[in-house]
Amino acid sequence: MKLWQKGKETESSVEKFTVGEDRKLDLQLAASDVLGSLAHTRMLESIGLLDKDELLKIQIELKNIYKEVEEGNFKIDENVEDVHSQVEWLLTQKIGEAGKKIHSGRSRNDQILVDLKLFFRGQIRQIVDRTEILFNQLISQSEEYKDKLLPGYTHFQIAMPSSFGLWFGAYAESLADDMELMLAAWKICNKNPLGSAAGYGSSLPLNRNLTTELLGFDSLNYNVIYAQMGRGKTERVVAQAMSAVAATLAKLATDVCIFNNQNFAFVSFPDELTTGSSIMPHKKNPDVFELIRSRCNKIQALPNEISMMITNLPSGYHRDLQLLKENLFPAFESLNECLIMCAFMLKNIRINAEILKDEKYAYLFSVDAVNKEVLKGVPFREAYKNVARLIEEDNFIKPATLEHTHEGSIGNLCNAQITSEFYKTLQSFTFAKVENAIKALIAK
């Protein structure tokens, strides 16, 4: 069944090529499609295009289909093109003529737009929830290990003293910034395109504000052409936000792989969380973090992939846009899995608290020695030369204490402030409003 079919059968090879992976991917949109139809049909009744009895039958059956989706029993038949066709066909089979009326005032174009935005909202919430878990893990470990020092590096050369508290906290603050980008993606996803039809609106007296309210959107995509132009742009913005989180995880994973190396030995993991070699009995490989790094690097390529697919497309719908699902949908699952595994692995990390006892790290404290002279009134350039001379003559003695007290330094991590910023951003997501609207929409 095809919503656009007028009588002639499509040649099988053309159908196979154009449908592609849609049946499989559209299963992930089934719940969103039903929600969109629940809101749309209530709006149709409000403007007199459905009577109350028709609406009641439609709503009851749509909620039954929604239950099937939630229980994992919904499927798209082989002879059905997509999720939109399947839902309408099921309705028509169950309730007859009333099922044929639900497409009034909409096109598959705005139907897929609203499906995607509802789906993206759910995926963003999952990412935010799992990022929150990882964020709190990092902050907790930053506090736990704030007094445990490790070397800081620039150019991969021993540079200045750092700490595990500083290291864990850095990635927590990075996630806080990543959530700012995710919030921007949420705001773009949380605008209602339903009623834009094929991109030019409708001559029917649609009430787009009503469907906006019913679906928990914050506002409309007002201009109907722009609503269609949002396809591709929305995916790219979501991918960019995901890419930011992925970049944080990839960098963290690389640090862990280096720190876990025997030449560094800054961190380690229980044997059961590492893998071995088929030939070298001593090996304990950080495979989880290597895969997190690679998966997240793939996700960082996603915004560019999407940009290349939509570059130079004019306004209006084009079938090119169908393929965006094939790139983006698997990335949601992958990023969520990376967030889960990263938090799990860090929960079990073991840190080496004795790193700086090795004399090769003595020069980490050269800047501290310079600053001690500066505090005594010696000009910085003179103090720098004095300490450099001591190092060259092998007479340098590292300071006995560290005096890093300014905001964000080893002795003043500002974790409370970072946490405050993180949660200020999270509170700007209108998750509760969306959840309440959807609960009301599917209530019996």
The residues that are catalytic are 155, 277
Single-letter code of the amino acid located at 292: I
Residue 45 CA to residue 23 CA, distance in Å, equals 30
- 285 backbone dihedrals φ, ψ, rounded to 5°: -90, 140
SS3 state of residue 430: coil
Q: Helix 108-144 vs helix 431-442: angle between axes, to the nearest 10 degrees?
A: 130
- Integer Cα distance of 310 and 320 in angstroms: 8
Task: List helix spans (H) across 71-163.
Answer: 83-95, 108-144
Contact 159, 364 (CB under 8 A): yes
Residue 309 burial by Cβ neighbours in a 10 Å radius (0-12, 13-18, 19+): middle
CB neighbourhood size of 16 (10 A): 10
- Give CA–CA dist 27/329, Å, rounded: 11
Amino acid (1-letter code) at residue 275: T
Task: Select from 297, 276, 272, 293 the least CA-distant residue to 285.
Answer: 276
From CA 329, how far away is CA 20, in angstroms rounded?
Answer: 15
Residue with tokens 């864990």: 168
